[in-house]
Structure 1
Amino acid sequence: MSSSEQAPVNPKESSDSDNTTHFGFQTVEKHEKESKVAGVFHSVAQQYDIMNDLMSFGLHRLCKRFTIDASGVRPGNTVLDLAGGTGDLTARFSKLVGREGKVILADINSSMLNVGRDKLRDQGLVQNIEYVQANAQYLPFEDNTFDIITIAFGLRNVTDKEMALRSMHRVLKPGGRLLVLEFSKPEYPLLDKAGKFFSFNVLPKIGKLVVNDSESYQYLAESIQMHPDQETLKAMMEEAGFEQTTYTNLTGGVVALHKGYKF
């Protein structure tokens, strides 16, 4: 059976024990996943933006723009751009919240955070942005801090997604909202098949050519398949305490934007 034909297990099913989780299609100890994911993003950080454009044909930018528009951000808001990487969302939020607002770009990976900080500073965005290296499962912020939290293409890399969602809920203000932009389950079988073919047969080759690293992009392809589908993630958000939870399929469900409120 080729890699593109592997049937991933349901990510909501129990692993062999409470101490194991998934790193792509591999079952690993939970304490191992964080270091393995760190290795992936240390490897790809410098070419991350280029690879995103190549592997999405630039569509990730439209999805992020849709997320910004759906956030309802206003001047003076405090925003957490979690797993914010190279700062695409932070750059736009910084301009929208204005001088009275604040945006925190947070990422667990120091290489990604450094690339994001350098890029934003090169754009002259310095007045209302802070940078924090943080694990989504243990957010180092006080309760009821943020008006908006976004996590774009990052939740699937978190070791314990349920814990991370509870942590996000804790640091949101009452009336605040979480937006999760992530790969999801395509609505059409042919689109699903084409996506798997691209992910497993083309994406690692692009990774090898551009960053001399096919293994990291093999993991990223596998992580997409292991991520919960739309309804499962919606239920997970509700279990974490979010209300009025909805999702919008983008690009035929290849990507979905989930939104939930804290009341």
Structure 2
Amino acid sequence: MSETVSFGYQDIDAAEKAGRVGEIFSNVAAKYDIMNDAMSGGMHRLWKDRFVRRVKPQPGEAILDMAGGTGDIAFRMAAHGASVTVSDINQEMLDVGIERALERGIDGLVWSRQNAEELSYSRGTFDAYTIAFGIRNVTHIAKALAEAHRVLNYGGRFYCLEFSTTEWPGFKEAYDLYSHKLVPQLGKAIAGDEDSYRYLIESIRRFPDMPSFEAMIREAGFENTRVEPIMGGLVAIHSGWKV
């Protein structure tokens, strides 16, 4: 029997997921950053600032920003002098990031189309690996985590920013109503794409909870793992070290 994986609330053949997710991000690439502001009320900017503070990028460090798409995380890390490679499986997302970098006069970034499950880089290439709001869209999360571990130097660090499940009483119910009812309508109004944003919300609900995902990071070989919930776990920063 063929392997099935989640695609929003559906279960589909694993071989289909990368293509279907790729189609979604091709559809939303042009309006991706505008929609992030609309969906989060601009709060995604604060979450990303906090994330990069935890990463602590240093001048000259080699950092791989996976699923880096439109460059939001990479721009912040490059401002600290890090040498950042921005990778994404979707070329349209990378194209938006390259255009944004040109508009801002940001150079020195490396842009590379990569599959998180099968990176082309050699073992021990990077000092840090970051992925923000991307790992839940990977077909085989365990493979992506194993690849992150492989391409890091010993002493290298892994940081992941991802949606999770808020544990604040009352807020969870309100957020569920907002995300399932209003976010797809925002997608329709702003990006002309209701279905893609319905999938993105459903993919959050199918993603492992904080303890389960931390366990997956440990199983990939990382030590000293940590979870930092934001807004009660609506968003979480996961980290680990290759030692």
**Global fold match (TM > 0.5):** yes
Contact kept, 8 Å, 2:164 with 2:233, in 1: the verdict is yes
Cα distance in 2, alignment partners of residues 206 and 104 from structure 1: 32
* Correspondence for 2:78: 94
Q: Are 1:183 and 2:163 matched, yes or no?
A: yes
Q: Are 1:224 and 2:199 matched, yes or no?
A: no
When normalised by structure 1's length, the TM-score is: 0.91
Contact kept, 8 Å, 2:59 with 2:83, in 1: the verdict is no
Shift of 1:18: 6.0
Structure 2 counterpart SS, 1:132 = strand
Structure 1 residue runs of 4 or more that deviate by more than 3 Å after TM superposition? none
Cα distance in 2, alignment partners of residues 230 and 258 from structure 1: 8
What residue identity is the alignment partner of 1:102? S
Shift of 1:244: 0.1
Q: How does 1:148-187 map to 2 (within 5 A)?
A: 148-187=128-167
Shift of 1:55: 0.2
* Correspondence for 1:7: none
Shift of 1:196: 1.1
* Correspondence for 1:239: 219
What residue identity is the alignment partner of 1:235? A
Contact kept, 8 Å, 2:9 with 2:202, in 1: the verdict is yes
Q: Are 1:117 and 2:95 matched, yes or no?
A: no
Shift of 1:192: 1.4
Aligned-pair identity in percent equals 42
Q: Are 1:196 and 2:180 matched, yes or no?
A: no
Q: Quick one: which of 92, 115, 137 aligns to 1:135?
A: 115
Cα distance in 1, alignment partners of residues 148 and 165 from structure 2: 24
When normalised by structure 2's length, the TM-score is: 0.98
Cα distance in 1, alignment partners of residues 166 and 2 from structure 2: 30
Cα distance in 2, alignment partners of residues 146 and 66 from structure 1: 21
Shift of 1:195: 1.4
Shift of 1:93: 1.1
Cα distance in 2, alignment partners of residues 251 and 18 from structure 1: 38
What residue identity is the alignment partner of 2:18? E
Q: Are 1:206 and 2:186 matched, yes or no?
A: yes
Cα distance in 1, alignment partners of residues 172 and 160 from structure 2: 21
What residue identity is the alignment partner of 2:75? A
Superimposed CA distance per residue, residues 22-63 of structure 1 (whole angstroms, 9 cap, x where no aligned partner): 100101001111111011100100000000000011111111
* Correspondence for 2:34: 50
Cα distance in 2, alignment partners of residues 144 and 121 from structure 1: 30
* Correspondence for 2:236: 256
Structure 1 counterpart SS, 2:70 = coil
Superimposed CA distance per residue, residues 200-250 of structure 1 (whole angstroms, 9 cap, x where no aligned partner): 100000000011110000101100000111000000000000000001001
Shift of 1:120: 0.8
Shift of 1:72: 2.1
The alignment's C-alpha RMSD in Å is 1.0
Aligned length: 243
Structure 1 counterpart SS, 2:176 = helix
Shift of 1:188: 1.8
Q: Give 5+ residue unaligned stretches, structure 1.
A: 1-16
Q: Give 5+ residue unaligned stretches, structure 2.
A: none
Question: Greater shift after overlay, 23-32 or 182-191?
Answer: 182-191
